[in-house]
Amino acid sequence: MSAIGLIGILVAMVLFLVMVYKNCVSYWVAILCAIIVALTSQLNLLDALFSLEQDSFLKGMVDLLPTMFKVVFMGAIIGKLYTDSGAVTSIANALIHAFVEKRQGPSKVTAAVIVIAVLNCLLTLGGIDGYVVTFTMVPICLAICQQCNMPRRFIGGFMTLNCAFMVFPGSPQIYNVMGVAGASQFAGENGMNPAELGISSTMGMIPGVVASIIIAVLSVITMIIVTKRAMAKGETFDAGTVEMPPAREGRTPHVILCILPLIVVFVLYSIVKLDVFYALLAGLVLSAILFLPFLPKQDVRGNQITLLGSLRETFNHGANQYPNALMSVITPAGLAAVVLSTSTFGAIIGMLSGMPINPIVLAAVMTVIIVALTSSPPATLMIVIPIVLGVGLGQLQGNVAALPVGAIVRTSIIAASTLETLPFNGLIVLTLGLTHCTHKQSYKYMFLNTVVYTTVGTIVAALLFILFPGLG
């Protein structure tokens, strides 16, 4: 292992963290850090950045495009349909009316936080990309905080209440999609049919559900406690420099119609086992049909438009959102590809994979370390899962039937959500920017929900798989 190469990787990661934390755009920062890694590891700079024949910055991004494009693109348009039609507002208002409005004092805060968690759950399990959920939920959280007089600085923590559902078995989000892709890659490389290994988005169902519930409950309880404590000390809602969203005018879809497309996406992806593209496409078509009468009848200039014109406007705006969302996911993967092409990284992987430990524990350890080194859960899952499955198969002397595929994949999926959300994470920075809060004001609650509690969830899932092998 090259000492200079290791130092270069560590310096690049720290620099990436600091510069993005200081509001530098991750796109060019990732390239700068990739250059540092390439030079300190004595890689050919042009090949390290632009080659499509070997691991490079460009190839790392390109390799993720086929999978990430369909999730982010379709999720962005569905999210815009929900926003423009008022569907998400309809769901929020129904929950607020049923559980929040009639309450007073501390119980009102408890109900409000639970409502925000339920909204996050519905949108996440319904296939709306996490980046788009942020744009959709921040205005809702602002309105709820204003209504319940909860301090604005807690919105960052409220927004991360979806992290438990991002890794929920069957959730049509990048973690499950890439977990399936990593396991399928292993099957293909070893001449196996993925169906033989039981590869699906619901692998490791019971421990995965238990872990997600633990993460969600701990996060909700934390946000209830800290919000009540701050309000007891006299903190109240203050919009500050944030422009409050205007009250929506006109009709909104009935709440049952609003929930229906989300259910369809989840069922088609997690139960029927359709490709995530077809599940999201069905959700998009159904949303467009159901929400068409409720879309705005004016364009951005205030001109009257037809129903089809309103649908075109919504699709245009949704499509305009996806490039930033997509780049925020795949740019760190470019940096990750340069890191993994170094001999230093190869030595680290060799050392980890050579450890005589349970492959489920190995999956958790390797995933956490590589996510920290690369800042890219999708790339990490594509690296870790094939390696650990191979190590596990070797330990079992080729006995495929005894290989705990579901346990390894589910543990890796949950572990990938741990050190992803360090302060420089794109969604962390985006949320703080939209709420006009600083890291000092909001990040500690986001850290608890997305790093500490996801680590607890990872440990619980791994222990369940180890103690009860039949669950994997």
Cβ–Cβ < 8 Å for 170, 271: yes
Taking the C-alpha atoms of residue 348 and residue 4, their distance in angstroms, rounded to an integer, is 14
Q: What is the pLDDT of residue 2?
A: 73
Q: What is the pLDDT of residue 49?
A: 93
Locate 137 and state its tokens. Answer: 């939920």
3-state secondary structure 285-307: HHHHHHHHHHCCCECCCCCECCH
Q: What is the pLDDT of residue 133?
A: 79
Cβ–Cβ < 8 Å for 215, 456: yes
Locate 65 and state its tokens. Answer: 């495009």
Taking the C-alpha atoms of residue 123 and residue 201, their distance in angstroms, rounded to an integer, is 18
Q: DSSP of 214-239, one letter per residue?
A: HHHHHHHHHHHHHHHHHHHTT-----
Give how far Cα 174 sits from Cα of 69, 288, 297, Å.
10, 23, 34
Q: What is the pLDDT of residue 48?
A: 92
Residues 6+ away with beta carbon under 8 Å from 335: 12, 16, 30, 33, 34, 37, 57, 60, 374, 375, 376
Q: Is the dihedral angle over the CA atoms 50, 53, 55, 59 positive or is it negative?
A: positive
Residue 446's SS3 state is helix
Range list of H helices, 292-438: 307-340, 343-353, 359-374, 377-395, 405-415, 426-435
**Residue closest to 132 by CA, chosen among 271, 367, 329, 270:** 329
**Ranges of each domain in the chain:** 3-471
Taking the C-alpha atoms of residue 392 and residue 390, their distance in angstroms, rounded to an integer, is 5
Q: What is the pLDDT of residue 364?
A: 95
CA angle 269, 279, 58 (to 5 degrees): 95
Q: Torsion over CA of 157, 162, 167 and 169, rounded to 10 degrees?
A: 150
For the chain, 472 residues long, give each residue's pLDDT as a single digit of tens.
578 888 898 898 888 877 876 767 778 888 999 999 999 999 999 999 998 888 889 988 888 788 778 888 888 888 889 888 988 888 888 888 888 888 888 889 999 999 999 989 988 998 887 777 787 788 888 888 888 899 999 999 999 998 899 999 999 988 998 999 999 988 888 888 887 788 888 999 999 999 999 999 999 999 999 999 999 999 988 888 776 666 666 688 998 999 999 899 989 988 888 888 898 899 999 999 999 999 988 776 767 888 888 888 889 888 887 787 788 778 877 888 898 888 887 787 777 767 778 999 999 999 998 888 777 788 889 889 998 998 888 888 878 888 899 999 999 999 999 987 777 666 777 788 778 888 888 889 999 999 999 999 999 999 999 999 988 7
Range list of H helices, 100-148: 106-125, 130-148
Cβ–Cβ < 8 Å for 149, 236: yes
Cβ–Cβ < 8 Å for 255, 94: yes
Q: What is the pLDDT of residue 368?
A: 92
- Strands of 306-415 (E only): list them: none
Q: Which residue matches tokens 């030595």?
A: 347
Taking the C-alpha atoms of residue 330 and residue 326, their distance in angstroms, rounded to an integer, is 6
Residues 6+ away with beta carbon under 8 Å from 137: 88, 116, 119, 120, 123, 158, 159, 162
- Strands of 301-427 (E only): list them: none
Taking the C-alpha atoms of residue 257 and residue 287, their distance in angstroms, rounded to an integer, is 9
